Amino acid sequence: MKHIIKASLLTLAISASLNTHAAQFSFSSKVDNDAHTLIVFYSQDGKNNQFKNLDKQFNGQLQRIIDVENFEGKYAKTTQLIAPLNSNYKRILVVGTGKQNELNKARIAKLGGNVHAQLVKYKADTANVLFDDVTGVDANHLLAANFAHGANLRDHRFEKYKQTPSTQTVTYSFDVDSTKKTKATYKQLESIQAGVFLARDLTSEVATEMTPVDFANAAKDLESLGVTITVLKPEQLKELGMGALEAVGRGSDQGARLVVAHYKGSNDDPIALVGKGITFDSGGYSIKTGASIARMKSDMAGAAAVLGTVKAMAMAKADKNVVAVMGMAANMVSQFAVAPGDVVRTAEGLSVEILNTDAEGRLVLSDAMWYARKHFNPSIMIDVATLTGSKIRAVGNEYAAVFSKDDTLVNQLTLAGEQVNENLWRLPLGYKDMLKSDIADITNVGSGGPGATTAATFLEHFAGETRWVHIDIAGNALVKKGKGELSPGGTGYGVRLLSEWLLAN
Ligand code: BES
Ligand code: MG
Ligand code: ZN
């Protein structure tokens, strides 16, 4: 009964959200001349009219810094003037935006994140941002909103276990040319932010406080947004024949859960987002060794990303029909856990010889993908999973790896990723022969062949005829240090990418 008490405590902890600070943003066509810091942009090749006007007000002091420092306005470089005593400002921060035609949403959001971190370090509690003259084109509202978005994403913190959580944050006033357009753009970004923050918090939470039951309870919070939540327990999974998902959950006392979150904002055929939700990956009897095991609370980041995306769509009231199907289990060792060499049957019918219990992600996904197809008949299915160490060796932890036969979808998703700093790199499917089993239809681990690819190829079988994309986010889910719009802890990787793709297509 222990876990029931824990679950209710957790709901409290999560909903008492971790934002004890929260940055504030307001947009108007004119700002008061009063803030700790004034931010002005300086482009490498633009007219910099706003900078020049300001320079006049400061009697040429700003231009003097630029000259003395040889400041060219290169992207993300900053320089500053400590404001004279008679000024309402304490500091004028000049921020380089690089070349005008290179500036886009992704670069400006990253810039917002980095500038925010600098302001926090300077203990600036208020900042005015002059955003009339950044590009000289009409997309300024898009850039202003994305700069704020980047700053807010960087501001997010997971500090519930700290004795004294930090309270330092910044209140921003933006001077923009189109208040209305900027506010509307920012409003949509706020929905996406809420999805990212949910995914980050779920990922950052420690494994004993984020079990499959805890995750299912967190998903239920979305019911208030009009999202339908269904949770299947181990007995139901068995009844439906979902032997692979059920087996992975068998090593922990709660067992596995299938969590389904459906936001029906249109009557189109649904788009299914399938997430790997391993709340802790010990490896099972094929146990992990070394320090890497301590990061395995984040092995549910795929599930967090797809749930976060559904939250974003629901909050934005997007006219999209999206369902997240999440295979949740803790991959633990116990007398009940799967033994290496066991054979399980998937709901789809294929039998799998589990040669390595650490290749558990593809097992939970196979049944989750089957369920998504069977119950929702989706037009497109995208799965997101922290699936393989091999993916990290291939493309590192800044790119995610994408696998699909569908060139159109790969191109659309890659383009969406470029808009939000969640970049994809395509790797091949194939090497199916490596998955042959002596006693079952297939094994869960390739005998040779590239690991990220054999894992993807295992999943391909369960996509059937559905248009399908697999995104391996191993290494993308958790960061130690803040950078750009990422703050330390869970990254929420995938929420911005999928939201951008859904809203653009
Ligand atoms: N969750 C891991 C993959 C992973 C590794 C994610 C490092 C994030 C960081 C996955 O379940 C796993 O253990 N994969 C094995 C598969 C192997 C046994 C075929 C791997 O990649 O080593
Ligand atoms: Mg594993
Ligand atoms: Zn795993």
Give 293-323 as a 3 state SS string. HHHHHHHHHHHHHHHHHHHHHHHCCCCCEEE
Please confirm, yes or no, whether 250 is among the known catalytic residues: no
- 299 pocket-lining for ligand 1 (C-beta < 6 Å): yes
Average pLDDT of span 418-435: 98
CA 7, 357, 199, 123 torsion-angle sign: positive
Mutate to test the pocket of ligand 1, among 295, 366, 388, 473 (most ligand atoms within 8 A of CB): 388
For residue range 359-391, what is the model confidence (pLDDT) as tens digits?
999 999 999 999 999 999 999 999 999 999 999
Output the pLDDT for position 379: 98
CB 417 less than 6 A from any atom of ligand 1? no
Distance from Cα 227 to the centre of ligand 2, integer Å? 30
pLDDT at 3: 40
Per-residue confidence band for 138, with pLDDT thresholds at 50, 70 and 90: low
CB distance 281 to ligand 1 below 6 Å: yes
Q: Is the pLDDT of residue 421 over 50?
A: yes
Integer Cα distance of 144 and 129 in angstroms:
9
Name residues whose C-beta falls within 8 Å of residue 297's C-beta, 6 or more positions apart in sequence.
203, 205, 206, 207, 210, 279, 280
Cβ atoms of residues 153 and 196 within 8 Å = yes
Instruction: List the structure tokens of 63.
Output: 């231009």
CA atoms of 228 and 219, how far apart (whole Å): 10
Mean pLDDT score, 63-92: 95
Query: Ligand 1 centroid vs 209 CA: distance in angstroms?
Result: 22
Q: How far is the CA of 360 from the centre of ligand 3 (A)?
A: 6
Which of 203, 287, 358 is the pocket-test mutation for ligand 1 (most atoms within 8 Å of CB)? 358
pLDDT for residue 19 = 52
Q: Given pLDDT bands bounded at 50, 70 and 90, which one contains residue 131?
A: confident
Residue 409's pLDDT band, with cuts at 50, 70 and 90, is very high
Query: What pLDDT does residue 136 have?
Result: 55
Under a CB-based contact definition with an 8 Å cutoff, are residues 103 and 117 in contact? no
Whether the pLDDT of residue 4 is over 70: the answer is no
- Per DSSP (E only), the strands in 145-243 are 171-175, 228-232
Name residues whose C-beta falls within 8 Å of residue 134's C-beta, 6 or more positions apart in sequence: 41, 43, 46, 97, 103, 140, 143, 144
**Closest atom of ligand 1 to CA, residue 361:** 11
Mean pLDDT throughout 172-185? 94
Quick one: average pLDDT of 381-409? 98
Is position 345 annotated as part of the catalytic site? no
Categorize the per-residue pLDDT at 452 as very low, low, confident or very high, splitting at 50, 70 and 90: very high
Cβ-in-10-Å burial (0-12, 13-18, 19+) of 335 comes to exposed
Residue type for position 344: V
Q: What is the pTM of this model?
A: 0.95
Nearest CA to ligand 1 atom 13: 358
Residues with Cβ within 5 Å of ion ligand 2? 281, 358, 360
- Selecting among 90, 288, 295, 483, the annotated active-site residue is 288
pLDDT of residue 16: 40
Residue 450 has pLDDT above 90, yes or no: yes
Ligand 1 contacts CB of residue 361 (under 6 A): yes
State residue 30's pLDDT score.
86
User: Looking at 107, 181, 320, 362, which residue is catalytic?
Assistant: 362
Tell me, using a 6 A CB cutoff, whether residue 450 lines ligand 1.
Answer: no
The average pLDDT across 57-63 equals: 95
The Å distance, Cα 298 to ligand 3 centre, comes to 9
Taken as a whole, the chain contains a residue count of: 505
What percent of the chain is modeled with pLDDT above 70?
A: 95
Measured CA to CA, the distance from residue 354 to residue 158 in angstroms comes to: 36
Mean pLDDT score of the chain = 94
463, 381 Cβ separation under 8 angstroms: yes
Q: How far from 374 is each of 257, 463, 465, CA to CA, in Å?
A: 17, 11, 12
Percent of the chain having pLDDT more than 90? 88
Residue nearest to atom 7 of ligand 1 (CA): 389
